[in-house]
Amino acid sequence: MTPFISIQSVTKIFQKGQSLIKPLEDLSLDVPQGEFLSLMGPSGSGKTTLLNLIAGIDRPNSGKIIIDKREVSGLSRAELTRWRARHVGYIFQLYHLVPILSAYENVELPLLLGKLGKAERQERILAALDLVGLADRADHRPAELSGGQEQRVAIARAIVHDPGLLVADEPTGDLDRESADGILKLLGSLADDHGKTIVMVTHDPRAAAAAHRSLHLEKGRFVESPTGHSVSASPSR
């Protein structure tokens, strides 16, 4: 079976003034559909960079990235933007809700790019908010929500257009333990019950443990993790 995400010998180079930074070098990785994968590693190891490549926010300097049978590394910037709008949900550490918009309006943002009518949008938005357990907070502004609730709204925003791929950059990094557990449970069920493929970057071993599989990145390469997690290419479930 072809993997949902296939990363083949990807190298990413940043230019900073005179010097070149190579956060990722000759990296390969396969992720099957429906897997909840966590990426760990020290700061600066290239986790966010890898996540951005998978999410189509950035493009590699060499190598191939194939997602759901489409070679996204070959797409132009504009094509990538359109592709993201339909296939990717991005969850940030700091939620990044638009502060002037209500929870409902924040979740509506990805749908405004499509052709859905108002009634259909409403149905989807309420379903997404319901799934994250915040149907009763639709009219609240981000400032009126707790961190955990904000992150739930952000997850609703990431799934409302029904993308196959979810990427999350330290989604629990700013949350207390209880809220974090709720978010992790939610992500787990999105993979298990809704078939989403999830790639999550985290510093928290507890979060990593909630995933199906955990990989350890160091200096742009996968390594045997200090905590003994395997670097197997096949899913551990």
Residues that bind another protein (CB under 8 A): 52, 55, 57-58, 78, 81-82, 84-86, 88, 90, 92, 96, 98, 100-101, 105, 109-110, 112-113, 157
Please check whether residue 84 is in contact with residue 55, taking contact to mean a CB–CB distance below 8 angstroms: yes
Minimum Å gap between C-beta 150 and another protein is 13
Query: What values do phi and psi take at 9, rounded to 5?
Result: 45, 50
Of residues 27-66, those binding Mg ion (CB under 5 A): 48
Tokens of 9: 């010998």
Of residues 11-40, those binding ligand ATP (CB under 6 A): 14, 16, 21, 23
Please check whether residue 96 is in contact with residue 174, taking contact to mean a CB–CB distance below 8 angstroms: no
Minimum Å gap between C-beta 43 and Mg ion is 7
Minimum Å gap between C-beta 102 and ligand ATP is 30
Size of the site for ligand ATP (CB under 6 A): 12
Minimum Å gap between C-beta 57 and another protein is 6
* 191: partner contacted, choices another protein, ligand ATP, Mg ion, none (Cβ within 5-8 A by kind): none
Q: Is 61 in the site for ligand ATP (CB under 6 A)?
A: no
Q: Is 93 in the site for Mg ion (CB under 5 A)?
A: no
Minimum Å gap between C-beta 92 and another protein is 8
* 16: partner contacted, choices Mg ion, ligand ATP, another protein, none (Cβ within 5-8 A by kind): ligand ATP
Q: Is 98 in the site for ligand ATP (CB under 6 A)?
A: no
Judged by beta carbon, residue 48 or residue 214, the one nearer Mg ion is 48
Tokens of 79: 């094509």
- Residue that is written with structure tokens 């359109």 in the block: 82
Of residues 38-57, those binding ligand ATP (CB under 6 A): 41, 43-49
- Residue that is written with structure tokens 């990296």 in the block: 27
Rounded Cα distance between 220 and 174, Å, is 25
Per CB under 6 A, residues contacting ligand ATP are 14, 16, 21, 23, 41, 43-49
Per CB under 5 A, residues contacting Mg ion are 48
